[in-house]
Amino acid sequence: MRKQSVSATLILASLLCFFLFLHAAKAQEVEDEREFEYDEDSDKGPSKWGDIKKEWAACKNGKLQSPIDLSHERVKIFQKVEKKSYTPANATVKNRGHDISIEWHGDAGSILINGTEYSLKAAHWHSPSEHTIHGRRYALELHMLHMNTDKQTGQNKTAVIAVLYKIGKPNAFLSKLMTNITSMIDQEDVERNLGFVDPNEIKFITKKYYRYVGSLTTPPCTEGVIWTVNKKIKTVSKRQVKLLREAVHDFAERNSRPLQQRNSRKIYLRLPAGSSK
């Protein structure tokens, strides 16, 4: 009986070791699947993005990278009115692991920039903000992704409208998404249908905004992106920011790329006629 007890104990111990090994192997496998991370101490951190894949070389060698700091002192003022038109369209919300994203499936409207029409495709959040104004970083930043496909070359041109948020009253648009986002905490690639979503409810259109040419802020860091960063700071609650951080993977709880060099780029500030900075 004693020998049987010892044997049973050894078998249980062996099984335990085996399952612990499988768990560790699985954890390592998940870890290896991350293409990039935000922790600067990681070998997949922001300063290493350009070394991970040759297609991501712009993350390291590009001269028009984003985000950057924005300020009034070195900007050029313009007052041209740009056409914006948005409409409700079917949309889904998705946990992409490194951020929470909304995707519109259909015509959600567009913005006209320098004679080129860019159609609204998606939106996602970064916390804390990626762009800064006068060196100040905010609690949250929303990116509204717009695309234009050149009919002759087939190449995509990108324009992004960014909105910065400080802690304050809850954001009404985010409030409508709280239940769906809560249901996808730590569940990468989980998607929920939202039905028809009106982009105008985000209230990201203002009369004062910064404009410059930069890049995507995630790999492959493609350059030539037209950035429009709203000057007016909106509000978001601590709870909403916390949820956006909890929903994504641990490595992306602070999913903001560090500031990049301005490199003598021109920054424009759009002001209505007769308005001051």
User: Could you tell me the sign of the dihedral formed by the alpha carbons of 31, 190, 217, 75, in that order?
Assistant: negative
Owner of token pair 């499936």: 105
Nearest alpha carbon to residue 34 among 140, 188, 182, 142: 188
Reading across the β-sheet that carries 69-70, which strands appear in turn? 69-70, 132-133, 136-137
Nearest alpha carbon to residue 196 among 106, 110, 96: 106
Catalytic residues: 98
Instruction: Note whether 254 and 241 are within 8 A (CB).
Output: no
Cα 155 from Cα 142, distance rounded (Å): 25
Nearest alpha carbon to residue 88 among 106, 104, 108, 103: 108
Structure tokens belonging to residue 267: 């920054």
Cα 125 from Cα 162, distance rounded (Å): 10
